[in-house]
Structure 1
Amino acid sequence: MKNNFSGKCLCGSVTYKANGQPVVVAQCHCEECRRLSGTGHTVGAMFPLDTVTLNGELSTFKYQSNRGSEVTKAFCGKCGSPIYGSNSRAPDHLTFSLGTMDDATALEIQVVVFERGKQRWDQLGADVMSFATQPDWKPDT
């Protein structure tokens, strides 16, 4: 089982490493996560802060959650990639966005939170076309 995880932002200015297995891997459908990701959800792996090393310039955005805690979202100050989130209810943990990990193939989603916020369009049916790479496709004009 993989015990070291690393990742970076799109431009490579921010890098991180987390040693050990995540506490949890969660998919979240809350409104804030949808807006942060620009999609229907986020997926993150939570690690104890003392297992994490971060390098690079991060910008942060803080807001109050519906439960009254302070949530901090950290992203690359150059390319805007979301790197991690933290919550004042778990101040000694960081949750890294799985999409920024170099290799997250060993991880699986263990829990879905804010399922009530899941959007109808965030569920793909068997009839949706799927391509292994970018297809040669031009919109109808």
Structure 2
Amino acid sequence: MVDARCSCGALTLTLPGPSKLVVACHCLDCQRRTGAPFGVGAFYPAEAVAISGTPKEFTRDAASGGKVHSYFCPNCGSTVYWKADRLPSMIGVAVGALADPKYPPPIRSVFEQSKHDWVQIDGGVDHFRQGSGAKKSD
């Protein structure tokens, strides 16, 4: 089991272990959500995640269609997890909320059309110009 939590500890997720689906997203919404040049999410089956605490919710239109519901701590403001209408059985967890430098790296890098030029994500990563549709051709 691993835990993800907000900065103050009021919102915590208990997870079954490291995810095999870790995604770096460069869309403008993830840049704004994180305050960083990209967000990194680990995806888990919703039924495998235990949530403790009462989050606030922010809902936005997703670049890939549908809505994304972000859940953040009402005390410290940390976004800890999100759910997408297009993936109703999954929960995306902010990898930074896991605070584990040895957590597995991304296997996908998506929405690279808005990736900052100086960002490099190397290794065995599939690169996509937009969502997880057609791969980026270099």
TM-score with structure 1 length normalisation? 0.79
- Tell me, yes or no, if structure 1 residue 50 matches structure 2 residue 47: yes
- Give 1:69's aligned amino acid: G
Alpha-carbon distance between aligned partners in 1 of 2:22 and 2:65, rounded to the nearest angstrom: 23
Query: Where do residues 16-55 of structure 1 align in structure 2 (5 Å cutoff)?
Result: 16-55=13-52
SS in 2 for 1:120: coil
Distance 1:47 1:31, change over 3 A: same
1:17-73 deviation line (CA, Å, top 9, x unaligned): 111442510000001000011110000100000100000120111011233311111
Q: CA deviation at 1:106?
A: 3.6
SS in 2 for 1:100: helix
CA contact (8 A) 1:7 1:15 kept: yes
CA RMSD of aligned residues (A): 1.8
CA contact (8 A) 1:98 1:104 kept: no
Aligned residues, how many? 121
CA contact (8 A) 1:26 1:44 kept: yes
Q: CA deviation at 1:104?
A: 5.4
- Give 1:105's aligned amino acid: K
- Give 2:105's aligned amino acid: E
SS in 1 for 2:22: strand
Aligned to 2:2: 5
Task: Pick the aligned partner of 2:100 from 96, 99, 103.
Answer: 103
TM-score with structure 2 length normalisation? 0.80
* Overall identity of the aligned pairs, in %: 31
> Any stretches of 5+ residues in structure 2 without a counterpart?
121-138
> Any stretches of 5+ residues in structure 1 without a counterpart?
124-141
Q: Give 1 or 2 for the bigger CA radius of gyration.
A: 1
Aligned to 1:86: 83
